A and B are shown apart, each in its own frame.
Chain A
Amino acid sequence: MQPVRGGSGMARRENWEIPIAFACVLLGVMMTVQFRTQKKEGFPLYNQRTDLIQMVNELERQRNRLETDLAEKKKKLDEFEQAAAKGPDVVKAMKDQIELARMEAGVLPVKGPGIIVEMSDSPKSPSPSDDTYYFIVHDVDIDTAINELWSAGAEAISINDQRVVTTTSIRCVGPTVLINGVRLSSPYKIKAIGPKKDMEGGLRMPGGFMDYMAPAVQRGVTVRINQYEEIDVPEYKGSLIFRYAKPMKKE
């Protein structure tokens, strides 16, 4: 009896181990494939996103460092010019011209009478049937306001301390607006130096900016316009280097 029982035990053992072994082959393949796909692609959304965020942060830090560097250099250049201005009249005239050109280019902080337009996202949260578009301030809203201000005679404009210069771009990136490559978020404060009345009138013109913003204002976006006797508009902190464009020589 005893050996027979052992024999059947052995047979049963083989009987149950082989199918499980086959299943294990399958499991092994699955496991390895999983491991390797995870390693190869990671979590594409999450890993890559954190990488990108890190990259952006690093680059922004770098940019800020360069910006302070540039500010120092500009100050030094200014000192040289001051020193030069004490020399002959020609140099002084040239310096005045340079100063004017700088002001036109927007690399000098300026002050004067003007208006401040403040825009902020709606504090309300949209219900499912609402169009979320109208609950936040967009790049086009800022763009439209600025266009209107220029056409009304504005001489210097900044948005949240980002001076608007010839190469300024304004565009939405996610929930923020990128201006001069700097991420800005609501509230947006547009400062414009120029004829106060004309500028405010331009914005409030029927069919103009305020009418255009009306659907958003209805949904809680705020747009405030105030006139001031004197406002400061900061200088453009980046550099205006022309790598491709060259002045045409007049014959």
Chain B
Amino acid sequence: MWIVIGLFVGVFIGLVLPSDLYPPYVFSKYISISFLAGIDSVLGAVRAGMEGKFKVNIFVSGFFSNALLAAFLTWIGDKLGVDLYLAAVVTFGVRVFDNLAYIRRDIMEGSKAGQESAADKS
């Protein structure tokens, strides 16, 4: 619930932000990659949370280090003339799907477990 609200708040802030506060266009690529890394971190955290393994410090450090590393890889790749950002895209892309699959499973099984425990309770 909070996650969805957070997302909406973010979108809202982005919308009301005056466009001259936007980062210059050259950073666009880095932001995209960081965004992907961020999605991966968030999905990973959601999964961890559902499995009861969530730790704030791990999430926060992972969120920022992944985003920064992805942006850094992109930047290095630009300098070297190698599309290193593909590494980040592939890695994070795969992990996003992995995490999504786990979350889905967690939700399915969790809801079933919830129903069972509810049944137990009653």
Contact surface of A with B, Cβ cutoff 8 Å: 2, 12-38, 40-41, 44
Contacts and interface: CB of A to CB of B under 8 A. Distances in A.
Given A31-B35, A37-B28, 12 more contacts: A13-B49, A14-B2, A15-B56, A21-B3, A26-B38, A28-B12, A30-B14, A32-B15, A33-B17, A37-B25, A41-B25, A44-B25
A25 B6 contact: yes
Given A32-B15, A33-B23, A34-B32, A22 B38 contact: no
A20 B3 contact: yes
A24 B42 contact: yes
B10 A31 contact: yes
Contacts of B22: 33, 36-37
Interface residues of B, number: 40
A23 B6 contact: yes
Interface of B: 1-15, 17, 19, 22-23, 25, 28, 31-32, 34-35, 38-39, 41-42, 45-46, 48-49, 52, 54, 56, 59-60, 63, 121
B45 A25 contact: no
Nearest to A12: B52
A30 B64 CA distance: 13
Contact of B11 (A12, A22, A28): A28
